[in-house]
Amino acid sequence: MRATMARVSTSSQSSLPTTELASYSAAMTTTTYRGLPGFALNDTPAASSPPDPTQSLRENLELVDDLTRFAEGIYSESAVRKKWRLSEETWELLGNDDELVRAIEKTRIQRVRNGSFKRERSQQHVTRAPDVLAGIMDDPKQSAKHRIDSAKVLDSFSGNGPQAEAEPERFVIKIDLGADLRAKGQDPNPGDVITIEATPRPSTPKQIEDDHNEQPSDEWRR
């Protein structure tokens, strides 16, 4: 039985035409793998697009803000390039980047609307005020009043804080007991008008302590 099956198998394999076997072998050797690009052994890798040298700079919001200040005249070119270490070539690339130019224009509009441009520009100009005031104060041709006023303003500029210390808040209570006489056209007694000045209650521990240590005043009774 086994010998019979072996003869049948041998006869079926040998029954294939020789020409068909030759063409099948040739097709196997000449067919090239056309799968995913870059995965075939004899396939040429796909060419990649060159990187954008200004993309990372364009996405830097702080740099965009500084370039906007340069466009507004607040920062100088040398200051921006020194801060960000921008070469001449990179500076030219940034100037020719349309997307960056649009981002700067958008930021300029936002700064005008929220008041940032006006505030920073004013701060830049007001720094020249001491020189102008000093020139008026030292000019003998100016009037004495102008020179004294300039000295006073310079003195206020030289303080430790940006603003003079604000006066403490006070409440004024006025009681007019002669309103009825005034309504009748008569002159009221000046003593009928009582004025009381008071300060708000202390809110911090230090203010509470100072308030308890202070001697009471009866000035309002006078």
Segment 191-217 shows an average pLDDT of 63
If one counts the domains in the chain, the total is 1
Least confident among 5-19, 166-180, 206-220: 5-19
176 domain residue, yes or no: no
Q: Is the pLDDT of residue 215 over 60?
A: no
HEC states along the chain?
A: CHHHHHHHHHHHHCCCCHHHHHHHHHHHHHCCCCCCCCCCCCCCCCCCCCCCCCHHHHCCHHHHHHHHHHHHCCCCHHHHHHHHCCCHHHHHHHHCCHHHHHHHHHHHHHHHHCCHHHHHHHHHHHCCHHHHHHHHHHCCCCCHHHHHHHHHHHHHHCCCCCCCCCCCCCEEEEEECCHHHHHCCCCCCHHHEEEEEECCCCCCHHHHHHHHHCCCCCHHHC
144 domain residue, yes or no: no
76 domain residue, yes or no: yes
Q: How far apart are CA 211 and CA 205, in angstroms?
A: 10
CA distances from 222 to 191, 194, 195, 196, 219 (A): 10, 9, 10, 10, 6
pLDDT at 32: 56
Q: How far apart are CA 54 and CA 61, in angstroms?
A: 13
Q: Is the pLDDT of residue 219 over 70?
A: no
pLDDT at 76: 95
134 domain residue, yes or no: no
Q: How far apart are CA 184 and CA 188, in angstroms?
A: 10
The percent of residues above 90 in pLDDT, for the chain, comes to 41
6 pLDDT band, cuts 50/70/90, is: very low
Q: Is the pLDDT of residue 205 over 70?
A: no
Q: Is the pLDDT of residue 119 over 80?
A: yes
pLDDT at 8: 39
Segment 13-42 shows an average pLDDT of 55
Is 156 or 121 the better-scoring residue by pLDDT? Answer: 121
- What sign has the CA pseudo-torsion 15, 18, 24, 29? positive
141 domain residue, yes or no: no
Q: Is the pLDDT of residue 125 over 80?
A: yes
Q: How far apart are CA 104 and CA 97, in angstroms?
A: 11
Interval 71-116: pLDDT, tens: 999 999 999 999 999 999 999 999 999 999 999 999 999 999 999 9
Is 207 or 147 the better-scoring residue by pLDDT? Answer: 147
pLDDT at 45: 58
220 pLDDT band, cuts 50/70/90, is: very low
Q: Is the pLDDT of residue 178 over 60?
A: yes
214 domain residue, yes or no: no
Domain range for 108 is: 55-125
pLDDT at 165: 55
116 domain residue, yes or no: yes
